[in-house]
Structure 1
Amino acid sequence: MTSKHTPDRRAQYTITAPTLRRAHRDTRATVVIITHDRRAELARTLAAMATSPDDMPIIVVDNGSSDGTAHMVERRFPSVTVIRCSENAGAIGRNVAVAQLTTEYVAFCDDDTIWQPGSLRRAADLLDEHDGLGSVTGRCLVEPDLAEDPLTPELRYSPIRGPSWLPGPALLGVMAGLSMFRTRAFREVGGFCERMWLGGEEELLAVDLAEHGWWMCWAEDVIIHHAPSAGRDATRRRQLGIRNALWTLWLRRPASSAVRRGLRIIGSAPRDAATARAVLEALRGAGWVVRHRAVVSDRVEAGLRQLEESQATSPARRYVG
């Protein structure tokens, strides 16, 4: 699958089919996990996901790991398909996996998250029941004390007005590792934008799903546990988050909204070199933004404006790493 947002730069990859082929209990969805140099976290996640009573097929995309991740999966989890990317493709590893799918739905899982028993089936049931539903995002509980993720209030109390048939609060933003998507809808919008790589890359995807007429919702009874990995560069993730948030604004929002919201994002971030580098990175992509800019309809823009206040006060959107 080629992203609609940027010219195709295909990462080289190889696919290792499962050595243990078996019939899965539920083949409506495939679970896709991307990972890079986090073998221990991935092993813990797969130990739970590969034995889940939901029993759906799993694909692991190894984004150029150097710690033996792919070999570990092939040895310890022979029923899992492994895709080895030659480089760290970030979120685009998910696109590579989706290009291989034959299932109607795809559930994304991170290497430090675990969908709880029954949650994959519940998300697939909701998609089965509602043809206009493009994705279902679940409730994230953070280990070890299983407190709700700080993003939860934004999702639970979303001000977006959806149709009466929608089985949960309507969304205009999702978290990839907590969500199951209709494969057709994901492909229709081109998947994740290759240029953004990783870090808030879901925002553009969600806006494009809405623009194509797909609804997204939150489901309280779809539960995912998150054990945040210590193996991440928080400062770089902050830079990517700011850069990608600005790019999403510039690509899809009217000029006045892009400027207003962009200044608020920059103003809420620490006044340091990392924030300055993030803004410079965004500005360097201005030519690409101009070439791919497609302002959303008034309907979607009205929803995005409704979200601005809750996003501005949300602890989950403080770029402070």
Structure 2
Amino acid sequence: MSPPLSDRLTVVLLTYNCGEWIARTVDHLQRLGLPMIAVDNASRDDNVAQLTAAGVEVMRLPRNIGAAARNVGARRARTPYLAFCDDDGWFTGEGLDAAVAALDRHPRLALVNARILVGEEERLDPISAEMAQSPLPVGDLPGLPLLGFMAGAVIVRRSAFLDVGGYDERLFIGGEEETLAVPLAAAGWQLRYLPEVVVRHFPSTANAGHIRHFGVRNTLVTAWRHRPAARAASWTWFILRTTPSRRVAVRGLAMAGAMLPSVLRERRVIDAELDRQLTLLEQRRRQATPTRRRAAHSVW
């Protein structure tokens, strides 16, 4: 007999100044009957008080460390798998057993990305539609192969996440998915899109305008840490010329430049096959992104 899901899976909820909507998120997550850990990025509103009143275990950080707050929750959890969730969405319960079963059966599977439904009308997120058309080699694992993901809609193998160091605190937030996806893939881990797993998302855009330069910085840092020089240079040029705001592009480039010494120290070029797969995804992105339109700063 299989152990209960609550012995296998913990919800790690990332929160930041979300007092206006966190009650709904927590209500839905608590219906799953899973252990839950909320990691709060130094919120200034009543978010933490609401979480505590709802009986949620809260780890309140003294400062905002962005995506790396998920590392704190991962280290605290005691189950082999983690459901990473943002404060503006929740797993519905559909497909969670299938995701855990897949992770149990396939020891090199590190991450399962859910199908994301947006808003009350449950629109399919465009990223989910793209994932469903993945051009990467399928292999013998369930689902469709990925080289990226959506950070708040994934179930991860805790050991794989921690083995590659989780999220880099220096990169804060914004396109953080690729900063983790490439190291996972380089270490031999597999990522999959499993559409039977479902996340409902009610996007909050309160902070979106303040992090776009981080997304530029992070995609450039990832490229120069892991890609052959010619590929990294080509991708840098593409990102800079397709970012619609010149100010955002310049600021992101300057931030990446400031990290250049550490990037060069840590540079480990990926193998040719992984580079080929990333290039295949980038080619699709280039074809779908006319010059001066906003570029997506991650590949999936």
TM over 0.5: yes
Query: Which residue number corresponds to residue 216 of structure 2?
Result: 242
Give, in whole Å, the separation in 1 of the partners of 2:14 and 2:34.
16
Counterpart pick for 1:70 among 48, 53, 57: 48
Query: Which residue number corresponds to residue 118 of structure 2?
Result: 142
Give, in whole Å, the separation in 2 of the partners of 1:134 and 1:123.
11
- In structure 1, give the amino acid aligned to 2:261: G
Give the SS at the match of 1:180.
strand
1:113 aligns with 2:75: no
- CA drift at 1:319: 4.2
Give, in whole Å, the separation in 2 of the partners of 1:71 and 1:120.
29
- In structure 2, give the amino acid aligned to 1:205: L
Counterpart pick for 2:142 among 167, 171, 174: 167
Give the SS at the match of 2:120.
coil
Query: Which residue number corresponds to residue 182 of structure 2?
Result: 207
- CA drift at 1:251: 0.7
- CA drift at 1:158: 1.2
1:151 aligns with 2:140: no
Query: Which residue number corresponds to residue 196 of structure 2?
Result: 221
Normalising by structure 2, what TM-score?
0.92
- CA drift at 1:277: 1.2
- CA drift at 1:118: 2.6
Listed as ranges, the matches of 1:172-321 within 5 Å are 172-232=147-207, 234-314=208-288, 318-319=294-295
- In structure 2, give the amino acid aligned to 1:62: D
8 Å CA contact 2:115, 2:198 repeated in 1? yes
Give, in whole Å, the separation in 2 of the partners of 1:185 and 1:294.
19
Query: Which residue number corresponds to residue 19 of structure 1?
Result: none
Query: Which residue number corresponds to residue 12 of structure 2?
Result: 32
Give, in whole Å, the separation in 2 of the partners of 1:73 and 1:219.
30
Give 5+ residue unaligned stretches, structure 2.
none
Give the count of matched residue pairs. 291
Normalising by structure 1, what TM-score?
0.86
Query: Which residue number corresponds to residue 31 of structure 2?
Result: 51
- In structure 2, give the amino acid aligned to 1:69: N
- CA drift at 1:297: 1.2
Give 5+ residue unaligned stretches, structure 1.
1-23
- CA drift at 1:313: 4.3
Give, in whole Å, the separation in 1 of the partners of 2:272 and 2:95.
34
1:253-294 Cα shifts (integer Å, max 9, x gaps): 010000111111111111422221111111111112111111
Cα separation, partners in 2 of 1:95 and 1:225, compared to 1, 3 Å: same
8 Å CA contact 1:242, 1:319 repeated in 2? no
CA RMSD of aligned residues (A): 1.8
